[in-house]
Amino acid sequence: MSAIEIKNLTKKFGDFTAVDSINLTIKEGELFGLLGPNGAGKTTTISMLATIMPSTSGEATVNGFDLHQQSDVRRSIGIVFQDPSLDDELTGRQNLEFHARVYHLPHDLRKQRIEEVLTLVELSDKADMQVKTYSGGMKRRLEIARGLLHHPKILFLDEPTLGLDPQTRRNIWEHIERLNKEEKITIILTTHYMEEADYLCDRIGIIDHGKIIALDTPEDLKNIMGGDILTLETHDTEKLKNILDFPWVKEIKVFDGKMNVTAKNGENAIPIILGAAAKHKIHITSVNMKRPTLEDVFIHYTGRTIRDEEASDRDRMRMAMRARGGWRR
């Protein structure tokens, strides 16, 4: 059974298309990742599915409800926003109490669920402390707990580990993984951390310029590359590219003054490439070999690293905002 069905969903802001006619099916119980840079359309997609933002065109169902059935959709989903949305002056328990009242949970069920979700995210011993005393990781765990209070079928996590240190991020991953496996909740995760999507997700959709440009399991996406990734640094990238006419070279991408060469049996390929470069008086300053990562998949589809895409997407958004007279520094 499908948790979410999306058909030609589109969102425009004036002349700027944030989400461009996407089609997607997310299965019940799946941990699905939307991976892409800031401004690629991840948060806008989640906002439409959560009925926070109306679509421009297209349609979608969430837990069997059309997006126009806002009350039904909202009762069946939980959401953790990218930006913090807790009241720092309240305690953790008081934040949950307020949210439970918004969802009209009966008194006895409210008390029961607050204790259950606090235990689930391991915050029972900190529940009566003001949130302003919490660490960044504790606040994210409390926000996840809040999103689970009303037993949602689907949980949206929008950049849940943004700005957290690596150790805290890994801790949040473990909580997300446990929620999906033990609570049987369908989770839709947006992130621009490649390793986060690789670790957590059953399937991944890579979104770029508002379009889903790749969709598969993390392993199958990496297998698309067809071999090892050799990263070469040289000042003669174009000249080197022109001489690597070998049958075992599957793909060549030039970016940031570097060259990614996808080759079968990378260890055997390295001395051959170095020999060919030396013959043509091309100086290679460094060579690195690795198995394909999702970052390599992103480069494969877009020709850029995700950090380059973050910068260019911000520029495009600025231009769109300026065109509407709405941009302020």
pTM comes to 0.78
φ and ψ at 257, to 5 degrees? Answer: 75, 10
Query: Does 328 fall in a domain?
Result: no
Spatial contact of 147 and 77, defined as CB atoms under 8 Å apart? no
Q: CATH number, domain at 272?
A: 3.30.70.980
pLDDT value for 133: 96
Q: CATH number, domain at 216?
A: 3.40.50.300
> Are 62 and 205 found together in one domain?
yes
Rounded distance between C-alpha atoms, residue 242 and residue 227, angstroms:
20
pLDDT tens across 282-329, in order?
A: 999 999 998 888 888 888 887 766 655 454 444 444 444 444 444 333
Count: domains in the chain: 2
Among 34, 15, 21, 36, which residue's Cα sits nearest to residue 313? 36
pLDDT value for 125: 95
Query: Does 322 fall in a domain?
Result: no
> Are 207 and 65 found together in one domain?
yes
Rounded distance between C-alpha atoms, residue 205 and residue 217, angstroms:
9
> Are 112 and 239 found together in one domain?
no
> Are 30 and 161 found together in one domain?
yes
Query: Does 182 fall in a domain?
Result: yes
Given 201, 221, 241, which residue is the final one in a domain? 221
> Are 212 and 231 found together in one domain?
no
> Are 23 and 106 found together in one domain?
yes
pLDDT value for 292: 86
Rounded distance between C-alpha atoms, residue 227 and residue 118, angstroms:
45
User: What's the full length of the chain, in residues?
Assistant: 329
Reduce the DSSP state of residue 152 to 3 states and report it. coil
Query: Does 240 fall in a domain?
Result: yes
pLDDT < 70 stretches in the chain: 304-329
The dihedral sign for the CA sequence 240, 244, 245, 251: negative
pLDDT value for 89: 96
Query: Does 242 fall in a domain?
Result: yes
User: In angstroms, how far is the first alpha carbon of the chain from the final one?
Assistant: 46
> Are 77 and 99 found together in one domain?
yes
Among 153, 156, 159, which residue's Cα sits nearest to residue 172? 159
Residue 242's domain comprises 226-291
pLDDT value for 84: 82
Rounded distance between C-alpha atoms, residue 172 and residue 141, angstroms:
7
Query: Does 104 fall in a domain?
Result: yes
Query: Does 90 fall in a domain?
Result: yes
> Are 215 and 240 found together in one domain?
no
Query: Does 246 fall in a domain?
Result: yes
> Are 168 and 232 found together in one domain?
no
> Are 195 and 273 found together in one domain?
no
Given 200, 221, 242, which residue is the final one in a domain? 221
> Are 280 and 169 found together in one domain?
no
Long-range contacts of 112-117 (CB under 8 A, 24+ apart): 113/149, 113/150, 113/151, 114/149, 117/145, 117/146, 117/148, 117/149
> Are 263 and 212 found together in one domain?
no
pLDDT value for 306: 64
State the residue for tokens 């009762």: 75
Long-range contacts of 251-257 (CB under 8 A, 24+ apart): 251/225, 251/226, 251/300, 253/299, 253/300, 253/303, 255/299, 255/303, 255/304, 255/305, 255/308, 256/305, 256/308, 257/233
